[in-house]
């Protein structure tokens, strides 16, 4: 489509009370700005992002997700405000849609509605019970007169509950005419993009208000808004995956991020936390397990297991209180209470309760490689780097020191037991009461 989309992302976002730029605050594991750019990219090949505050961080974060964006730096010291943000923008096409970068919930289908209207300016409006914080839209006889920011509004204007949602479709020539004429003579000393409306109206240009859904257009200005937007986004993600065939028990208790993918019929129990670029295929994730940036296929995990980044788990049973980090497990059973880090473990191997890979010597991390059909008794420590061949048995309580162990062995390290007769009575006396 021949449409340019400008996303304003240069502001500080002081209401967030954070050292981090507002648009970099995350919703479902991705920066909020990611979502509006994603929706914009679906319909435009000319997406322009205006940056200033923490521009290096904002640019770098978005370049991780997208290629081919145009970044424009606002001169925010001399020309602050949303109007200032538009001053260096050079759209490629005649139709220009402007979005605030703090609207992560906006969808492509809503953006498209702005383009169906031929007016010189189409602007988004929402009727709100509580309009505070937004610019108020002064409408008379169904026609928009101007937008007045809350800080500049009279008491009568503040009582208006039709607000500017912050999305506009302009013809390029309208911007070229009015942006250079903006002034900063207002309560905030800023150049307001919203002042274009009144100037255009005075020149008898056509301005069409477009009523939009609050849920998609709500600006995220505070940490309360951030949490609210995340709940809505997460609900969308959960519904999307349930529609695709995933079973979720008590879905509202499941935390799921944008990068998570499912294949086949998976079951996710209550309280699970699924993060990062994770793939879960034909698997069962039991209650209160945490999975980060990993691949899980044909496996069951948890309850209360922790799968940390870069793990690849296939055909495996992981039970409660098992932590796995950066490990590849293929057809393994690790039923209880273990730490498996920097390990490669092959099929048919059983990991006894309390098995620990000692992967770190305080300076470096080392690998543990375990072959096929190895039986590891409970409470075993594997001091890495260690390599165990196929068909090995390790007795319970063994500390397997670093090295290579060949196929067929029993490995055992145990302090011989001492039995001291009569000790209990000598120590506690005859009359010990329990
Ligand atoms: C803006 C509108 C207000 C509307 C509201 C909707 C103006 C003057 N006001 O107010 O009418 O009701 O959005 O959410 O436009 N930004 C820049 N450069 C700047 C300042 C802001 O790029 O110098 C960006 C911000 O990063 C943000 C967006 O513009 O993504 C909106 O800025 P924000 O400060 O949140 O504007 P509001 O006060 O909410
Ligand atoms: Ca805002």
274-323 per-position pLDDT tens digit: 999 999 999 999 999 999 999 999 999 999 999 999 999 999 999 999 99
Share of the chain above pLDDT 70, in %: 99
Res 430: pLDDT? 76
The reported pLDDT for the residue numbered 431 is 63
- Burial (CB < 10 A; 0-12, 13-18, 19+), residue 11, is buried
Across 211-215, average pLDDT: 92
Q: What is the DSSP string of 374-387?
A: -EE-SS-EEESSEE
| Model confidence pLDDT, tens digit, residues 321-367 | 999 999 999 999 999 999 999 999 999 999 999 999 999 999 999 99
349-351/279-281 β-pairing: unpaired
**134 Cα to the center of ligand 1, angstroms:** 9
In angstroms, rounded to a whole number, what is the distance separating the alpha carbons of residues 162 and 112? Answer: 22
* DSSP type of residue 216: H
If you count them, how many residues does the chain have?
434
Q: Is 354 in the pocket of ligand 1 (CB under 6 A)?
A: no
Residue 390 reports pLDDT greater than 60? yes
Q: Please indicate whether residue 36, judged by its CB atom, sits closer than 6 Å to ligand 1.
A: no
Question: What digits encode the pLDDT tens for the residues 405-417?
Answer: 999 999 999 999 9
Task: Using a pLDDT cut of 90, give the percent of the chain over it.
Answer: 94
Angle at 331 between CA 330 and CA 333, to 5 degrees: 115
Beta pairing partners, 137: 147
- Residue 82 φ/ψ region, left for φ over 0, alpha for ψ in the -120 to 50 degree band, beta for the rest: alpha
284-315 burial, b for 16+ CB within 10 Å, e for fewer? bbbbbbbbbbbbbbebbbbbebbbbebbbbbe
Which of 6, 9, 11 is the pocket-test mutation for ligand 1 (most atoms within 8 Å of CB)? 11
- Would you say 150 and 134 are in contact if contact means Cβ atoms under 8 Å apart? yes
pLDDT band at 153 (very low <50, low <70, confident <90, very high): very high
Ligand 1 atom with the smallest distance to the CA of 195 is 8
Average pLDDT, the chain: 96
If you average pLDDT over residues 66-78, what whole number do you get? 97
Give pLDDT, residue 432: 58
pLDDT of residue 141: 84
273: nearest Cα among 292, 293, 298, 294 = 292
Q: Is 369 helix (H, G, I), strand (E, B) or coil?
A: strand
pLDDT of residue 93: 97
Characterize 137-176 residue by residue with b for buried, 16 or more Cβ atoms within 10 angstroms of its Cβ, and e for exposed.
bbeeeeebebbbbeeebeeebeebebbbbbbbbbbbebbe
Give the bridge partners for 143, in sequence order.
140
Catalytic annotation on 306? no
Residue 417 CA to ligand 2 center (angstroms) comes to 71
218 pLDDT above the threshold of 90: no
How far apart, in whole angstroms, are the C-alpha atoms of residue 273 and residue 30? 15
Q: Is the CB of 207 under 6 A from ligand 1?
A: no
pLDDT of residue 433 exceeding 70, the answer is no
Across residues 178-207, what is the average pLDDT? 97
pLDDT tens-place string over residues 30-63:
999 999 999 999 999 999 999 999 999 999 999 9
Supply the pLDDT for residue 332: 98
77-128 pLDDT, tens per residue? 999 999 999 999 999 999 999 999 999 999 999 999 998 898 999 999 999 9
pLDDT value at residue 121: 96
| Cis, bond preceding 279 (omega within 30 deg of 0) | no
Whether residue 434 has pLDDT greater than 60: no
Residue 46 in contact with residue 3, Cβ under 8 Å?
yes
CA of 181 to the centre of ligand 1 (A): 19
């Amino acid at each position: 489509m021949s449409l340019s989309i400008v996303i304003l992302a240069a502001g500080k976002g002081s209401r967030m009370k954070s050292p981090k730029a507002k648009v970099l605050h995350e919703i479902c594991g991705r920066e909020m700005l990611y979502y509006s750019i994603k929706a914009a990219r679906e319909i435009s090949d000319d997406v322009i992002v205006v940056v200033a505050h923490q521009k290096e961080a904002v640019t770098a974060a978005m370049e991780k997700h997208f290629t081919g964006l145009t970044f424009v730096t606002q001169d925010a010291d001399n020309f602050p405000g949303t109007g200032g943000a538009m001053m260096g923008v050079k759209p490629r096409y005649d139709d220009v849609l402007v979005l605030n970068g703090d609207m992560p919930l906006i969808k492509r289908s809503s953006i498209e509605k702005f383009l169906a209207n031929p007016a010189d300016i189409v602007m988004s409006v929402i009727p709100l019970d509580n309009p505070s914080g937004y610019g108020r839209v002064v409408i008379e006889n169904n026609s928009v007169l101007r937008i007045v920011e809350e800080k500049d509004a009279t008491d009568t204007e503040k009582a208006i509950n039709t607000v500017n949602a912050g999305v506009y479709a302009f013809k390029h020539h309208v911007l070229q005419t009015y942006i250079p004429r903006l002034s900063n003579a207002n309560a905030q000393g800023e150049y307001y993009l919203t002042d274009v409306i009144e100037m255009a109206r005075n020149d008898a240009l056509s301005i069409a208000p477009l009523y939009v859904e609050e849920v998609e257009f709500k600006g995220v200005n505070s940490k309360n808004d951030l949490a609210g937007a995340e709940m809505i986004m997460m609900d969308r993600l959960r519904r999307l995956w349930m529609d695709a065939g995933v079973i979720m028990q008590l879905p509202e208790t499941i935390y799921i991020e944008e990068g998570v993918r499912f294949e086949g019929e998976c079951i996710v129990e209550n309280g699970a936390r699924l993060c990062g670029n994770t793939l879960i295929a034909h698997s069962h994730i039991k209650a209160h397990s945490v999975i980060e940036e990993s691949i899980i296929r044909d496996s069951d995990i948890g309850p209360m297991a922790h799968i940390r980044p870069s793990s690849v788990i296939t055909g495996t049973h992981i039970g409660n209180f098992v932590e796995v980090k950066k490990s590849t497990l293929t057809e393994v059973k690790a039923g209880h209470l273990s730490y498996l880090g920097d390990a490669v473990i092959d099929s048919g191997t059983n990991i006894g309760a309390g098995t620990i890979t000692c992967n770190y010597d305080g300076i470096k991390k080392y690998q543990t490689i375990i072959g096929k059909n190895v039986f590891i008794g409970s409470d075993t420590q594997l001091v890495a780097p260690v390599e165990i061949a196929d068909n090995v048995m390790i007795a319970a309580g063994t500390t397997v020191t670093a090295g290579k162990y060949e196929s067929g062995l029993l490995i055992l390290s145990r302090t011989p037991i001492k039995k001291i007769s009569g000790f209990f009575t000598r120590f506690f006396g005859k009359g010990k009461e329990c």
